Amino acid sequence: MLALDSLSKHFGGVRAVDGISLTLKEGEIFGLIGPNGSGKSTTINLITGLYTPTTGTVRLDGRDLTAMAQHERTAMGVARTFQNIRLFGNLTVAENLWVAQNGHEQRRAHFLGRWFRAGGEHSPEIGELLKFSRLHSKRDVQASALSFGEMRRLEMARALASRPRVLLLDEPAAGASREDGQILAERIRETRDRGVTVLLIEHMMELVMGISDRVAVLNFGRKIAEGSPAEVQANADVRAAYLGS
Ligand code: ADP
Ligand code: MG
């Protein structure tokens, strides 16, 4: 459903992504792993349109997204979380979800947030997302006042609020406890079961190997392996990339 074909992104002499081809099937959880600096976040940035590729294409259900702006890709059903959390700190938890659900642009968020406080309605869907993310008791708390773990949960809820078909998660468990990682894994599974295709970048191996249907491994911007979690874990090139030997 989501197809990357010979995708590259060069920054000067750095080949952050260097000719990657990948195909995600509808309804699967696809893990994307690799050492630091191997091009994982850049790949997500190319899928969402934050970066323009040096070469290659991104297609969703056969439609070429490569020349589309970020908001057009969001409208097509592509949503993401950021490795470095990006929330509207001055808006409440519920307002962050409302803004995401209604697709408003960043520069209007502050104004809209005020309008929202003055009488805008929460949709039932936002109530559901708050429960799903265990943020119900925090709905009227400013995002900047949340704990780190709560911010991560809000970041994912916000991506879901745009009703995506493909959800791109960039290290959603970073800094999380093992227990929170397990709850997150359950939430990602539930999201997939609701029909959302998931691309999961994650360092917590237990998490990514436990829930992914397939996994691809990047090293120096190239795909060095792809297969089931068991196949990838047994792959000699993958072991070498991680051990640096
Ligand atoms: P990962 O997410 O796998 O840790 P990244 O995709 O963030 O890796 O980065 C891959 C490489 O591209 C790194 O060498 C990084 O320094 C470089 N890079 C990423 N974004 C930029 C940028 N905006 N400008 C210059 N270099 C970048
Ligand atoms: Mg990264």
Q: Identify whether residues 89 and 156 lie together within a single domain.
A: yes
Residue nearest atom 17 of ligand 1, based on CA coordinates: 16
For residue 17 and ligand 1, the question of a CB distance below 6 A is answered with no
Nearest ligand 1 atom to alpha carbon 218: 3
Q: Identify whether residues 237 and 187 lie together within a single domain.
A: yes
Q: How far apart are CA 160 and CA 143, in angstroms?
A: 17
In a domain, 240, yes or no: yes
In a domain, 72, yes or no: no
For residue 11 and ligand 1, the question of a CB distance below 6 A is answered with yes
Nearest ligand 1 atom to alpha carbon 34: 3
How many Cβ atoms from other residues are within 10 Å of residue 229's Cβ?
18
In a domain, 171, yes or no: no
- Listing DSSP states for 196-232 in one string gives -EEEEE-S-HHHHHHH-SEEEEEETTEEEEEE-HHHH
Per-residue pLDDT tens over the stretch 192-219: 999 999 999 998 888 999 999 999 999 9
Output the domain CATH number for residue 200. 3.40.50.300
Answer whether residue 113 shows pLDDT above 70.
Answer: no
Answer whether residue 110 shows pLDDT above 70.
Answer: no
Residue nearest atom 16 of ligand 1, based on CA coordinates: 37
Q: Identify whether residues 141 and 187 lie together within a single domain.
A: no
Per-residue pLDDT tens over the stretch 140-196: 999 999 999 999 999 999 999 999 999 999 999 988 888 889 999 999 999 999 999
For residue 34 and ligand 1, the question of a CB distance below 6 A is answered with yes
Residue nearest atom 6 of ligand 1, based on CA coordinates: 39
What total of structural domains would you count in the chain?
2
Residue nearest atom 20 of ligand 1, based on CA coordinates: 42
Query: Mean pLDDT of all residues in the chain?
Result: 91
Range of the domain at 109: 78-163
Q: Identify whether residues 40 and 99 lie together within a single domain.
A: no
In a domain, 71, yes or no: no
Q: What is the pTM of this model?
A: 0.91
